[in-house]
Amino acid sequence: MDMQLNNRLGLVSGSTAGIGYAIAEALAAEGAKVIVNGRTQTAVDAAIASIKKATGHDALGFAGDLSKSEVAEALVRTHADIEILVNNLGIFEPKPFGEIEDADWMRFFDVNVLSGVRLTRLCLPAMKQANWGRVIFISSESAVQIPAEMIH
């Protein structure tokens, strides 16, 4: 399938494994320039190598915790022309509702919600300027079928 993404710059947050990695690999296979993101350089480098092996295309990397505003801002300063943003970053921790402390709720919200909102806000001006862009938010089945131990 040709999604006409040749040389489009895409960022997939949380893309060193799982769904995020699969999306990054699929975008690279379509010819997009993909920025792989994870918290550690080791994980980012491994994902980039795997994408190159699977698709024959290079990928870019950015190691950092995108739930932190200064890290997200640094990424967008480095890659100011992101055209495709896939907000995939998310965390979970199986824990009974009564044991989830306020700090945990704030951490889940910062990572699972604010990271995507922040990245979108940072990337949107360049997309508007170019008159082209795509923003996608990924969620899991837990948004619909909520496990009791993952109410957050």
- The CATH number for 27's domain is 3.40.50.720
- CA distance linking residue 102 with residue 92, whole number of Å: 15
Burial-class residue 141 by CB neighbours within 10 Å (0-12, 13-18, 19+): exposed
Write the single-letter amino acid at 122: L
Sheet holding 60-63, edge to edge: 60-63, 33-38, 9-12, 84-87, 134-137
Global pTM value:
0.92
Residue 118 resides in a domain: no
What domain range includes position 44? 1-100+137-152
Residue 122 resides in a domain: no
Domain count, the chain: 1
Is the distance from CB of 24 to CB of 89 less than 8 angstroms? no
Residue 105 resides in a domain: no
Reading the chain (152 residues) residue by residue, the pLDDT tens digits are 677 788 999 999 999 999 999 999 999 999 999 999 999 999 999 999 999 999 999 999 999 999 999 999 999 999 999 999 999 999 988 888 899 999 999 999 999 999 999 999 999 999 999 999 999 999 876 666 666 666 66
Coil/strand/helix, residue 33: strand
Residue 94 resides in a domain: yes
